[in-house]
Amino acid sequence: MERLKFFATTVIGLEDIAAMEVERLLGFKAEQDVGRILFEGKVSDIYTLNLKARTINKLFIRLCRSNFESLDEIYRIVRNLDYTWIIDPQQSFAVRTERIGVHDFTSMDVSRVVGQAIIDSYMNTVGKRLKVNLDEPDVEVYCLVRNNEFLMGVNTTGASLHKRHYRVYSHPAALKPTIASAMLKIGGWPQNNRLIDPMCGGATIPIEAALEAKGISPGRWREDFAFLKLKICSRDDYEELKAEETGGMRLEKGFTIFAMEKFARHMEGGIENAKKAGVYEAINFKIGDATRIE
């Protein structure tokens, strides 16, 4: 298959960190946009990024990126695309739309028009009407309408990658793990091999630091990736990549991680999170008030 075009969403303001991570994992240059990055790659890169990326939220196969003047033009753009390579005739799909700017239509209008255009295109090509399932679609199509820009892609991730498996305790002001990982990269981790989080809360920062230091991919325990339902993807190839993971046996020598928390309930929750993540032994937990000298 030819090289695919992708875009990945991330936290606004962290596009440069996400771009550097993608470039490191794939070896391809990423273009930065607001809240997302754009790049090219291979089918196998879908597995790599969903499994290993720490600072992106969702990865999409980019179907089109264009300017438009009206809903009718969006219909024509979408109607002229081929979907037979990404959706099987027996599969269902849904369209999710995000709209930014002032328009004389709603996000629901865009989803309706795009959905109809996909159905019409598929019917014209295959002679079969695709099924729509808004609750649990086999294929989720995402559309961004931002002023007069139209961006469209297929979700390969499913639920956002920031929803890590280990979050069994949620701190009232919990930090998203993707932000925590980006903060660590900005701070020079893991090149700087000592970390102290004096107000660790639910221990998100120490856990993300330990996962990276131990070489544990954040998607390692996840089994519900959306790409597993895409016809261009292979579960066997993904499982082979996951089986090659060698991290997680021990903390690399020289790394020291300290986590301090004032409130016992948050410390206990952070410890539970660390145990769930498999990194409890890599973090030195301590009850204490960082604002007081003991």
Q: What is the pLDDT of residues 9-42, one digit of tens each?
A: 999 999 999 999 999 999 999 999 999 999 999 9
What is the overall mean pLDDT for the chain? 95
Instruction: State how far the Cα of 26 lies from the Cα of 49, in Å rounded to an integer.
Output: 8
- Evaluate whether residue 197 is within a structural domain: no
The pLDDT of residue 292 is 86
3-state secondary structure of 254: coil
pLDDT 10s digits, 235-269: 999 999 999 876 555 556 678 999 999 999 999 99
CATH number at residue 64: 3.30.2130.30
Q: 13 CB contacts (<8 Å, ≥6 apart)?
A: none
User: Cα–chain-centroid distance for residue 69?
Assistant: 30
Instruction: State how far the Cα of 32 lies from the Cα of 246, in Å rounded to an integer.
Output: 31
The pLDDT of residue 192 is 86
- Evaluate whether residue 69 is within a structural domain: yes
The pLDDT of residue 293 is 73
Question: What DSSP letter does each residue of 50-70 carry, written as one string?
Answer: HHH-SS-SEEEEEEEEEE-SS
Instruction: State how far the Cα of 242 lies from the Cα of 48, in Å rounded to an integer.
Output: 9
The pLDDT of residue 262 is 95
Average pLDDT, integer, range 211-222: 93
Average pLDDT, integer, range 199-213: 97
How would residue 222 be classed by pLDDT, with cut points 50, 70 and 90?
Answer: very high
Query: Into how many domains does the chain fold?
Result: 1
Instruction: State how far the Cα of 213 lies from the Cα of 254, in Å rounded to an integer.
Output: 10
178 φ/ψ angles, rounded to the nearest 5 degrees: -65, -35
pLDDT 10s digits, 34-93: 999 999 999 999 999 999 999 999 999 999 999 999 999 999 999 999 999 999 999 999
The pLDDT of residue 2 is 74
- Evaluate whether residue 240 is within a structural domain: no
**250 or 209, which is more confident:** 209
pLDDT 10s digits, 276-286: 999 999 999 99
Q: Is the pLDDT of residue 142 over 60?
A: yes
Highest mean pLDDT among 138-147, 210-219, 244-253: 138-147
- Evaluate whether residue 239 is within a structural domain: no
- Evaluate whether residue 190 is within a structural domain: no
User: Cα–chain-centroid distance for residue 24?
Assistant: 16
- Find the radius of gyration of the CA atoms of the chain: 21
- Evaluate whether residue 231 is within a structural domain: no
The pLDDT of residue 44 is 97
8 A C-beta contact, residue 177 and residue 204:
yes
| Domain span at 91 | 4-155
CA distances from 206 to 92, 106, 155, 256 (A): 41, 42, 30, 10
pLDDT 10s digits, 87-114: 999 999 999 999 999 999 999 999 999 9
- Evaluate whether residue 114 is within a structural domain: yes
- Evaluate whether residue 70 is within a structural domain: yes
Average pLDDT, integer, range 107-123: 98
